[in-house]
Structure 1
Amino acid sequence: QRLADRGLGLEVDADAMQALASEGFDPQFGARPLKRVVQQRIENPIATRILSGAYEEGDTILVSITGEQFGFDRRPAAPA
């Protein structure tokens, strides 16, 4: 919702989604740690990039993973 308010979209590829699910699941607590993992590994880095001006209104942020490193690529809005 907060990204949409800024005119940004978000797409998370299947590998990144699986990595988040694996990292955010704890046998004792279930999926409760997932929110913290998403915040630390996705939300915070995206917020930093937004503040630095890496994305423009209409862009879509593409989240992927290579090894253990999440990537945040920019897909510009289609020309009008």
Structure 2
Amino acid sequence: GRRVDFKNVVLIMTSNIGADLIKNQSGFGFGKKEPEANYEKMKETLQKEVERHFRPEFLNRVDNTIVFKALTREDLQTIVDYELAKVFKRLTEHGFRLELTDQAKEFLIDKGYNPEFGARPLRRAIEHYIEDPLSEAVLAGKFKGKNLIKIDVQDEEHLKLEGFEIAEPEKSEHAVAKSQ
């Protein structure tokens, strides 16, 4: 073997130890009334689970353990907005503007959030329900001559994509002269 110097390294390890405990929170007295107290109790329970799972020799080398709080609906909306901003940017480069209704965003959260896996499936839901159909429609020429794509809920399993032609705001001569 090779020797590795870990002098200036931050090593981040993740684990799903205790995920089953979190999933079945109600059995451990975690309720919705006192979220901070519940978090501390959950953290303590998970720390005991980590100590039960790993040997003390290993745990003595770990400087810090972080237990993340469960994602709220507001957190998920922020994640959806962040991921969609990337899609918006790519579409803008091709001359399209994208608008999603709040119902479409809620649809994505409902389809993409799994308490067991966190927000990871949310990215796949955006690919499956937005990016893939959008790519196919653009390649098929469905939005030819259109520059706005609106996305809304069609039914329980699908989103609908509609293209519109909107007039671009005209620049006045004064604005053009200022930019030169």
TM-score when scaled to structure 2? 0.42
Runs of 4+ in 1 over 6 A off after TM superposition: none
Q: Is the 8 A contact 1:8 1:57 kept in 2?
A: no
- Give the unaligned 5+ runs of structure 2: 1-88, 171-180
Query: Counting helix residues as a fraction of each chain, which structure ranks higher?
Result: 2
- Superposed, which structure 2 residues align to 1:1-80 within 5 Å? 1-56=89-144, 59-68=147-156, 69-78=158-167
Identity across aligned pairs (percent)?
A: 30
The higher-RCO structure (CA 8 Å, 6+ apart) is 1
Q: Tell me the TM-score normalized by structure 1.
A: 0.89
- Give the total of aligned pairs: 80
| 2:146–2:163 Cα contact (<8 Å) kept | no
CA RMSD, 1 decimal: 1.7
Aligned residue for 2:135, secondary structure, equals: helix
Kindly provide the amino acid, as one letter, of the partner of residue 71 in structure 1: K
Ranges in structure 1 where 5+ consecutive residues have no aligned partner: none
Between structures 1 and 2, the one with greater strand share: 1
